Amino acid sequence: MTTRTLIVGDVHGCREELEDLLEESGWDDGDDLVLVGDLVAKGPDSLGVLRLIRKLGGRAVRGNHDQHCLKWWDARQAGEDPPKLRPAHQRVAEELEEEDWRWLAGLPLWLELPEHDALVVHAGLVVDLPLEEQDPYDLMNMRSILEDGSASRSYEEGTPWARLWPGPRLVVFGHDAVRGLQNHPHAVGLDTGCVYGGWLTGLWLPRRDLVARAQPMRSQGKIEGMEVFVCRREELREGEVRTTRLGLDADGIPIAALLLIDTNGDIVAYRNLCRHLPVPLDGGTGQLLSEDGAHLICGTHGAMYRLHDGYCVDGPCEGLALQQLFVREEAGDLYVSDTSKPR
């Protein structure tokens, strides 16, 4: 009898969602558990994710965010000054203990599953290049293949590498939350943006059955169409940003919204999506405002957006503006919809 294997997409510290996915998928101790990397950072419980996987005897490959954290640990091990980390990675550095670091450092760049004629990597593979000759950086970071056949981190240029993968061996990967679920004949991408308010997705082998677990909404309300109740007016305070999830856009990317009081005292809402690259401003950390509270800030790229109109005044997308959304007030209740507000 062939062993069942559940391969799980990017967890990013979302321990509760991983537990729920395992329960709802019917996984048990007799099944194998494999994860596509990016186990840590951005989500609320990176330490809990690592210890749950270890407890269950799961395996994983190394993701780019795992690697970012390991650079810090490697420097400490070598007696060197550790690099400065972004807040999401610094939290991991402060939480993990020696046994956790050693397990994380032992993650390979790929896992072969010969019983399923399958291979697991975090990001991707360059077509027609032997596995042993693949660049480790590409294995953890690539998304596309350019016209010259080289790998690229970009999702805007080139062709999704999985679309070009000829097989026959199946490759299962993660890393590409923007494109979301990718289900090609010989390659399956499982990053569906759980930490950004999307889904945690798993793939059963050998049947290739997909299972998913939705990230709970962070707002107080329920979705009615594409308008969501967020909070009462009196509950929204200056210097505070409320977040909520509205659903998915036409490309399957989660629509997350930010609700706040701007510098003029008006209530405004923006789509939680940086204009430089379409990633949430908070990167899953919950840190959305600059230190002085005068700007929304992208934790990934450092872009600074004015509160009253969403325009970027500093950073790689200077001059561009966040997508402003409609806010409706009814008897003191504040609602946000996915409809863009004209400028």
Assign 120 a pLDDT band (cuts: 50, 70, 90).
very high
User: What mean pLDDT comes out for the span 288-308?
Assistant: 89
Per the prediction, the chain carries an average pLDDT of 88
Q: Please, how many CA atoms are within 13 Å of residue 228, restricted to the half-sphere of its CB?
A: 23
CA distance 142 to 126: 9
Assign 214 a pLDDT band (cuts: 50, 70, 90).
low
Tell which wins on pLDDT, 207 or 177.
207
How far is residue 94 CA from its own chain's centroid? 21
pLDDT value of position 178: 77
Under DSSP, the state recorded for 94 is H
Question: Is the pLDDT confidence value at 153 over 80?
Answer: yes
User: What mean pLDDT comes out for the span 228-244?
Assistant: 89
User: What mean pLDDT comes out for the span 124-131?
Assistant: 94
pLDDT value of position 341: 65
Phi-psi region of 167 (alpha: psi -120 to 50; beta: other; left: phi over 0): left
User: What mean pLDDT comes out for the span 11-19?
Assistant: 94
Question: Is the pLDDT confidence value at 51 over 90?
Answer: yes
Kindly report the pTM of this predicted structure.
0.70
First to last CA, the chain: 62
Question: Is the pLDDT confidence value at 333 over 80?
Answer: yes
Answer positive or negative: Cα dihedral of 85, 258, 213, 210. negative
User: What mean pLDDT comes out for the span 310-333?
Assistant: 90
Cα–Cα distance list, 43 to 14, 209, 285, 299 (Å): 5, 26, 7, 14
Assign 221 a pLDDT band (cuts: 50, 70, 90).
very low
pLDDT value of position 88: 81
**Long-range contacts: 308-315, Cβ < 8 Å, 24+?**
308/262, 308/263, 308/264, 308/266, 308/268, 309/343, 310/268, 310/270, 312/275, 315/276
